């Protein structure tokens, strides 16, 4: 595709983006069939996008609540929350098995990331999370935490890294129930992921990465281990090496104005959020060339709505959502403000 097929507007075209996301709300295109296992995550991208675009009136909230709750796994009448299972949310119908004759979910595929997305959607549409059995979710989440403080995403195993640490922290924060994790162990795991260059890798010893760095900083903030706008306090006793982290982050903005996730990589729409949100949490937004960043994002705005990963490509749900989120962080007129550490709007995060 030629670059001429990408929107050359100098402003974000909100109306086109609302049309794009509303279309995705009603029917996902055929290429997303292969991602059915992540149906709740795709729904999160769509509904959170609509909310950021200040168009939540287009969503049938009661229908969304009922649909999301249908993925919840609950302990059966004869089941024990401490039996090694995790009572969260399945990500899709294909990962959902019916309970047995006693109401017990013997084949439980509930997933931390899907649970984070489910709770986020419910908060966005105004559902009172106190109506959930948060105790069973939190208590059973302990079964996913590993001795080193990390979390498996699902009780049958899987990778353990900062992505699922973040999901666990966000779940605890949204439910206002921290019984599901050993916070001190989580803190130590996160600190062990800070690399020699200041960024954070997904696991201890791994290469620094923009997404992993977001998961680390947002988790520490949600758990209360770092204060908001920590850079302004000049707190030399901070848990993390702030000067080194800031140096690594600021080197991620390229000559094209966009942010890269790692050194020697191309700028990518999603890192405008992953890196931008870290700077917002730390209080370092003034260090960014916002005009250049905005120009890069606009070069990824598609003429029929949505954002692509790189300039001149077709849009997708993932990069569209993070494009909207990035513009919210840039305080674009007409968009709702974002809660950086939760990835949803402030109105949804605060329940007002």
Ranking 231-240, 277-286, 308-317 by mean pLDDT, the lowest is: 231-240
Q: Is residue 1 part of a domain?
A: no
pLDDT the model gives residue 305:
96
pTM for this predicted structure: 0.93
Q: Is residue 3 part of a domain?
A: no
pLDDT the model gives residue 232:
78
Cβ neighbourhood burial of 35 (10 Å; 0-12, 13-18, 19+): middle
pLDDT in tens, 29-84: 999 999 999 999 999 999 999 999 999 999 999 999 999 999 998 876 555 556 67
Q: Is residue 223 part of a domain?
A: yes
pLDDT in tens, 234-244: 655 578 999 99
pLDDT top residue among 101 and 192: 192
Q: Is residue 41 part of a domain?
A: yes
pLDDT the model gives residue 229:
80
pLDDT the model gives residue 75:
78
Ranking 142-156, 221-235, 260-274 by mean pLDDT, the lowest is: 221-235
Whether 5 shows a pLDDT value over 60: the answer reads: no
Lookup: tokens for 171: 């779940």
pLDDT the model gives residue 68:
97
Whether 253 shows a pLDDT value over 90: the answer reads: yes
Whether 105 shows a pLDDT value over 80: the answer reads: no
DSSP conformation letters of 12-73:
--HHHHHHHHHHHHH---GGGGGGGGGHHHHHHHHHHHHHHTT-GGGS-HHHHHHHHHTTB-
Q: Is residue 154 part of a domain?
A: yes
Furthest-apart CA atoms within the chain: distance in Å: 62
Query: How high is the mean pLDDT of the chain?
Result: 91
pLDDT top residue among 96 and 171: 171
Domain that holds residue 81: 14-350
CA-closest candidate to residue 69, choices 112, 131, 140, 23: 131
Q: Is residue 87 part of a domain?
A: yes
Cβ neighbourhood burial of 26 (10 Å; 0-12, 13-18, 19+): exposed
Lookup: tokens for 159: 């990778």
Confidence label for 290 from pLDDT (cuts 50, 70 and 90):
very high
CATH code at position 327: 1.50.10.20
What is the count of structural domains for the chain?
Answer: 1
Residues 6+ apart with CB under 8 A from 97: 105, 106, 107, 108, 109
Confidence label for 341 from pLDDT (cuts 50, 70 and 90):
very high
pLDDT in tens, 124-176: 999 999 999 889 999 999 999 999 999 999 988 889 999 999 999 999 999 99
Q: Is residue 5 part of a domain?
A: no
Confidence label for 206 from pLDDT (cuts 50, 70 and 90):
very high
CA distance 281 to 173: 16
Whether 283 shows a pLDDT value over 50: the answer reads: yes
Q: Is residue 84 part of a domain?
A: yes
């Amino acid at each position: 595709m030629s670059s001429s097929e990408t929107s050359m507007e100098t402003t974000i075209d909100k109306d086109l983006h609302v049309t794009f996301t509303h279309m995705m709300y009603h029917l996902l295109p055929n290429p997303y069939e292969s991602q059915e296992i992540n149906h709740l995550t795709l729904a999160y991208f769509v509904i959170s996008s609509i909310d950021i675009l200040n168009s939540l009136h287009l969503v049938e909230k009661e229908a969304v609540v009922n649909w999301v709750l249908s993925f919840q796994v609950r302990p059966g009448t004869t089941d024990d929350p401490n039996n090694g299972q995790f009572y969260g949310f399945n990500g899709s119908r294909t990962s959902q098995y019916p309970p047995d004759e006693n109401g017990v979910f013997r084949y439980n595929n509930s997933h931390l990331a899907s649970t984070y997305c489910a709770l986020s959607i419910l908060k966005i549409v105004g559902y009172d999370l106190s109506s959930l059995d948060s105790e069973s979710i939190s208590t059973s989440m302990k079964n996913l935490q590993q001795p080193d403080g990390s979390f498996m995403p699902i009780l049958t195993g899987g990778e353990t890294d900062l992505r699922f640490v973040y999901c666990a922290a966000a779940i605890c924060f949204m439910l206002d129930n921290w019984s599901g994790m050993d916070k001190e162990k989580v803190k130590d795991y996160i600190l062990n992921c800070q690399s020699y260059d200041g960024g954070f890798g997904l696991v201890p010893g791994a290469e620094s990465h923009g997404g992993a760095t977001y998961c680390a900083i947002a988790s520490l903030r949600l758990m209360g281990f770092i204060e908001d706008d920590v850079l302004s306090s000049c707190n030399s006793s901070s848990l993390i090496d702030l000067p080194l982290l800031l140096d690594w982050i600021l080197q991620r903005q390229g000559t094209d104005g966009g942010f890269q996730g790692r050194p020697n990589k191309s700028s990518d729409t999603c890192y405008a959020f992953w890196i931008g949100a870290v700077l917002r949490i730390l209080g370092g937004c003034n260090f960014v060339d916002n005009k250049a960043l905005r120009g890069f994002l606009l070069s990824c705005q598609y003429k029929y709505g949505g954002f692509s990963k790189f300039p001149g490509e077709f849009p997708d749900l993932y990069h569209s959502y993070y494009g909207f989120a990035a513009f919210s962080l840039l305080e674009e007129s007409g968009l709702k403000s974002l809660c950086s550490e939760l990835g949803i709007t402030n109105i949804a995060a605060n329940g007002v």
